[in-house]
Amino acid sequence: MTDIGAAEGRDFYRLLVLRRQAILAALTVLLVLSFCADLALGPARYGLGQVVGALLSPGSVDDQLRVILWDIRMPVALTAVIVGASLSIAGLQMQTILNNPLASPFTLGISAGAGFGAALALAFGVALFPFAVDYVIPINAFLMAMLTSLAIYGLSLRRGVSSETIVLLGIALVFIFNALMSLIQFFASQQAVAAVVFWTMGSLTKATWPKVWISVAILAAAAPLLARRGWSLTSMRLGDAKAESMGVNLRTLRLEVLVIVSLLASVSVSFVGTIGFIGLVGPHVARMLLGEDQRFLLPGAALSGALILSLGSILSKIIIPGTVIPIGIVTSIVGIPFFLYLILSRRSQSW
Amino acid sequence: MVTLRLEGVGASYGGREVLSGISTPVLEGGQVVALLGPNAAGKSTLFRRIFGLLRGPGEVRIEGATVPRPVAYMPQDNGARPVLTVYEAVLLARMQGRRLKVDPEDHAEVERVMGLLSIGHLRARNVGDLSGGQRQMVGAAQALVQNPQILLMDEPTSALDLSRQIGLLTLLRRLAREQGLLIVVAIHDLGHALRFADACLVIEGGRLAASGPTSEVITPEMLRRVFDVDARVEECSRGRLQLIVD
């Protein structure tokens, strides 16, 4: 057997890597621009120059601008970026470990679980963890989301349970939680119903600095842990048998990753409500742009998720001036046609 | 020289015994060993047991290995369609358990193996877009690029055309001779086994039905007993053994 051209392999690979680095750089630039635009827009509009000035030297601008940017808009804009990245990473790794393109915090019932937990607090004042009065709603949402993740994990440990079964269970959980939410709304006061409905629409306006720091901390802890597993996670997309044959311990890896992404998804959802779209679409967009290699796909998914949610945050402010439409609605209405376009316009396979 | 020996090896799936009491002579590096047996005889299970993916009674003894991970295993193709180029898929097999950074010697190794298997021209294609036979060649590359001393291959030729079947088996035989590899290959074509294998293991119903040098194992009696086929094994005009089914 002879072959010509094998020696050009590394040149081919170098180009591949360069292209991916360029795409990551472009996504980063877009994200920075979007973030600044997000800060500039609102009831009082500022120029990008003013925003950049206030960001780089907060002391040099007037108090009003500083307060609006740093205390009011910054937590919201940062939350969009961090939650977008977190949900997208969570969705990516759920798709990876379950080897299923439909997996995401939303389709596995984690968001619905969080919604149910929040509804318990909003409608009846039930606190699942009755010690932090200020954070009853997010803590309820977080606990139910983690419980849902654990249920999914418990099932995945059973012998003979395929990843398809797990996704089906997730969808069943979505229906169960939705029914329970309806039940709560049926019995709750009108005011409480409005609060529950608003919560489930997903909104960045609940953002505060402490929540930002918590989300940042979780993301900063999770991302390196997942990045370390880059080769193993990539090989899972070759199928279980192949990954095992390369020496990947599937059981340990699945457990580790599921715990990490559950935490990421639960914290995000409990702070901003249900934003179903990001965890599904962020990773798919990144995969189309960057391929399957997790050394590029992981940061790519984080960037694309952050970018989508940041753009969503901008749109939610400018569609109807003076009104901030809940972000979950915006990302779905604007994002899903875009996503369909991406999927249907591609000639080669994207999953 | 690396050696592999099974002593009373068994395995079970969910309480059902799939393999039991498999003991082999010492299989030495430098040989191609054919693993034969009817469908569902337990060939894949035996590979998984040897590779350490299954536990069970008995001992898998590997001696004389000079690298930390001496065994590579090429499973049957499972039809996964990842968005990975062929080059990346082979590199991925090489990089498993290593640092995230790819070194020049990793590239050199990937290039060398892809060259050996004549799949260098496929490097930019997506694995998911390949034909079954091409995917099988990529699978072989993924196993070889791990630089094993013992190579377990589960039906590596099942989707290849005749010329590539012969090409791959010739290559495996050469690698065994030149580099002292022990290559155990599950194969359905007994003609190929006669032509390329130094020794054979025959499994039937989870038990070892025969083992030893190829010419002593592939006999009309074994073919009738294990495969339920009436056949002769005769020398052709060039003195090679061949199988003639009656």
pLDDT at B138 over 90: yes
Where is average pLDDT lowest: A121-130, A222-231, A241-250, B137-146? A121-130
- Work out the minimum CA distance from B95 to partner chain A, whole angstroms: 7
Q: Which amino acid is at A74?
A: M
- DSSP state at residue B126: B
Which chain A residues are within 8 Å of B96, Cβ to Cβ?
Answer: 231-232, 235, 246-248
CATH of domain B1-70+148-212: 3.40.50.300
pLDDT at A304 over 70: yes
Contacts of B139 (CB under 8 A, 6+ apart): A242, B74, B75, B77, B156
pLDDT at A160 over 80: no
Q: How far apart are CA B164 and CA A10, in angstroms?
A: 25
The secondary structure of A265-332 as a DSSP string is HHHHHHHH---HHHHHHHHHHHHHHH-S-HHHHHHHHHHHHHHHHHHHHHHHHHSSTT----HHHHHH
Q: How far apart are CA A122 and CA A89, in angstroms?
A: 29
Establish if A248 touches chain B: CB-CB under 8 angstroms: yes
Q: How far apart are CA A68 and CA A22, in angstroms?
A: 34
The domains of chain B are located at 1-70+148-212, 79-147
Confidence of residue A178 (pLDDT cuts 50, 70, 90): very high
Q: Do A160 and B14 touch (CB under 8 A)?
A: yes
Which of A3-12, A46-55, B209-218 is most confident?
B209-218
The tally of domains found in chain A comes to 1
Confidence of residue A350 (pLDDT cuts 50, 70, 90): low
State the alpha helices, DSSP H only, in A188-293. 190-201, 209-228, 230-236, 240-245, 250-272, 276-290
pLDDT at A16 over 90: yes
Confidence of residue A348 (pLDDT cuts 50, 70, 90): low
Supply the pLDDT for residue B206.
Answer: 94
Q: Do B75 and A247 touch (CB under 8 A)?
A: no
* B38-55 burial: b if 16+ Cβ within 10 Å, else e: beebbbbbbbbbbbebbe
Q: How far apart are CA A106 and CA A203, in angstroms?
A: 16
Q: Percentage of chain B surpassing pLDDT 70?
A: 100
Q: Which residue of A has its CA nearest to B111?
A: A6
Nearest to A292 by CA among A283, A305, A304: A283
**CA dihedral over A124, A129, A130, A134, signed as positive or negative:** negative
What ipTM does this complex have? 0.89
The predicted model gives A192-215 an average pLDDT of 90
The predicted model gives B16-35 an average pLDDT of 95
Contacts of A147 (CB under 8 A, 6+ apart): A113
Q: Which residues 125-184 in chain A show a CB within 8 A of chain B?
A: 159-160
The predicted model gives A237-252 an average pLDDT of 91
Nearest by CB to B116, from A1, A16, A240: name it: A1
Q: Percentage of chain A surpassing pLDDT 70?
A: 96
User: Is A18 part of any domain?
Assistant: no
Confidence of residue A6 (pLDDT cuts 50, 70, 90): very low
CB A80 within 8 A of CB A316: no
User: Is A162 part of any domain?
Assistant: yes
Where is average pLDDT lowest: A198-202, A248-252, A339-343, B178-182? A339-343
The predicted model gives A192-200 an average pLDDT of 89
Q: How many CA atoms lie within 13 A of A193 on its CB side?
A: 9
* Lookup: tokens for A287: 């995969």
User: Is A194 part of any domain?
Assistant: yes
**CATH classification at residue A237:** 1.10.3470.10
CB A306 within 8 A of CB A31: yes
Where is average pLDDT lowest: A297-306, B93-102, B180-189? B93-102
Confidence of residue B224 (pLDDT cuts 50, 70, 90): very high
CB A99 within 8 A of CB A163: yes
Across chain A, mean pLDDT equals 88
CB B198 within 8 A of CB B32: yes
Q: How far apart are CA A8 and CA A6, in angstroms?
A: 5
User: Is A27 part of any domain?
Assistant: no
User: Is A174 part of any domain?
Assistant: yes
The predicted model gives A160-167 an average pLDDT of 80
User: Is A145 part of any domain?
Assistant: yes
CA-CA distances (angstroms) from residue A3 to A350, B93, B122? Answer: 29, 21, 11
Establish if A234 touches chain B: CB-CB under 8 angstroms: yes
Q: How far apart are CA B234 and CA A65, in angstroms?
A: 94
Which chain A residues are within 8 Å of B109, Cβ to Cβ?
Answer: none
Supply the pLDDT for residue A164.
Answer: 81
Which chain A residues are within 8 Å of B156, Cβ to Cβ?
Answer: none
CB A97 within 8 A of CB A258: yes
The predicted model gives A71-84 an average pLDDT of 94
Which chain A residues are within 8 Å of B51, Cβ to Cβ?
Answer: 245
Q: Which amino acid is at B222?
A: M
Using one digit for the tens of pLDDT, what is the confidence trace for B140-178? 999 999 999 999 999 999 999 999 999 999 999 999 999
Confidence of residue B93 (pLDDT cuts 50, 70, 90): very high
User: Is A255 part of any domain?
Assistant: yes
pLDDT at A148 over 60: yes
Q: Do B81 and A4 touch (CB under 8 A)?
A: no
Establish if A256 touches chain B: CB-CB under 8 angstroms: no
Q: Do A12 and B91 touch (CB under 8 A)?
A: no
CB B37 within 8 A of CB B209: yes
Residue of A162, A236, A246 to mutate for B, most B C-beta atoms under 10 A: A246
Q: Do B96 and A247 touch (CB under 8 A)?
A: yes
- Work out the minimum CA distance from B151 to partner chain A, whole angstroms: 11
- DSSP state at residue B103: P
Q: Do A231 and B97 touch (CB under 8 A)?
A: yes
Q: How far apart are CA A78 and CA A65, in angstroms?
A: 17
- DSSP state at residue A67: I
Which chain A residues are within 8 Å of B170, Cβ to Cβ?
Answer: 1
Domain housing A309: 79-345
CA-CA distances (angstroms) from residue A282 to A32, A91, A287? Answer: 17, 8, 9
Nearest by CB to B107, from A13, A228, A245: name it: A13
User: Is A330 part of any domain?
Assistant: yes
Confidence of residue A7 (pLDDT cuts 50, 70, 90): low
pLDDT at A1 over 80: no
Confidence of residue A214 (pLDDT cuts 50, 70, 90): very high
Where is average pLDDT lowest: A144-148, A344-348, B59-63, B147-151? A344-348
Q: Do A231 and B116 touch (CB under 8 A)?
A: no
pLDDT at B243 over 80: yes
Establish if A4 touches chain B: CB-CB under 8 angstroms: yes
Q: Which residue of B has its CA nearest to A5?
A: B120
Residue of B123, B126, B164, B184 to mutate for A, most A C-beta atoms under 10 A: B123
- Work out the minimum CA distance from A338 to partner chain B, whole angstroms: 21
Using one digit for the tens of pLDDT, what is the confidence trace for B31-78? 999 999 999 999 999 999 999 999 999 999 999 999 989 999 999 988
CB B40 within 8 A of CB B99: no
Supply the pLDDT for residue A347.
Answer: 60
Q: Do B87 and A295 touch (CB under 8 A)?
A: no
Q: Which long-range contacts (CB under 8 A, 24 or more apart) does A25-29 make?
A: A27/A289, A27/A300, A27/A303, A27/A304, A27/A307, A28/A303
The predicted model gives B221-231 an average pLDDT of 93
Where is average pLDDT lowest: A149-158, A222-231, A242-251? A149-158
Q: How many CA atoms lie within 13 A of A73 on its CB side?
A: 26
Establish if A2 touches chain B: CB-CB under 8 angstroms: yes
